[in-house]
Amino acid sequence: MKTIKEALNDGILPQDAECIVKDNRYYIGTVGYPLTMKLSILKKALVERKKLAPDFKAISHALRAAYQLLEIYETGDLKYPLKYREFVLAVKQGKLDFTATVQPALEDVIAKVERLAAIVVLPESVNRKYWEQFIVNVYDGYYDYTEHKESLTAK
């Protein structure tokens, strides 16, 4: 059976943005494997790793929602793009170590949201009339964006 190094030389294993050779190791994401490791052992390790891997997409959604709640509790508003969008995207793409980076960030933001939820007073309901009229005004062209047209279409 071939080693990782032999498989790389033969073009069997990818070398791209997610799979790179560095410091005499083959990195898949953030985990490095020795180039002398047999390919069959690498495949078994990857199967086991996949079983234990967190669902980064689901975690990114939880983080996004928590950061949105945090912003609402802290400012009373929600602005786009989300302040933490780059971090949430990196989590979704699985680029960050779960134990060292993602889990502490998730625990931290959840703790902040829970603390703020207990002390921040928000309206019991949304002012539906205001937002319904806002949508009607946008559709009716009530807001004149023509003066900003050049800046919106500039390259």
Residues 55-111 have pLDDT tens digits of 888 899 999 999 999 999 998 888 888 899 999 999 999 898 888 999 999 999 999
Mean pLDDT, rounded, for 12-16: 85
For residues 61 and 47, state if they share a domain. Answer: no
The span from the CA of 33 to the CA of 4, in Å, is 8
Residue 139 included in any domain: no
Cα 98 from Cα 106, distance rounded (Å): 10
Same domain, 99 and 67: yes
Residue 37 shares a structural domain with residue 63: no
- 146 secondary structure, DSSP code: G
How many structural domains does the chain have? Answer: 2
CB 66 within 8 A of CB 58: no
β 19-22/25-28 pair status: antiparallel
Contact 64, 82 (CB under 8 A): yes
Residue 126 lies in a domain: no
In a domain? residue 20: yes
In the numeric block, the tokens 């003066």 are attached to 147
Which range of residues forms the domain containing residue 109? 56-119
Q: How confident is the model at residue 144 (pLDDT cuts 50, 70, 90)?
A: low
- Rounded-to-integer distance, Cα 82 and Cα 41, Å: 42
Domain assignment present for residue 151? The answer is: no
Give pLDDT, residue 155.
Answer: 43
Structure tokens at 62: 């939880």
- Any domain includes 154: no
Calculate mean pLDDT across residues 107-125.
Answer: 90
Inside any domain, residue 144: no
Do 47 and 62 sit in the same domain of this protein? no
Which of 52, 68, 83 terminates a domain? The answer is 52
Q: Is the pLDDT of residue 41 over 70?
A: yes
How confident is residue 13, by pLDDT bands cut at 50, 70 and 90?
Answer: confident
End residue of a domain, out of 52, 67, 91: 52
Report the pLDDT value the prediction gives residue 19, as an integer from 0 to 100: 87
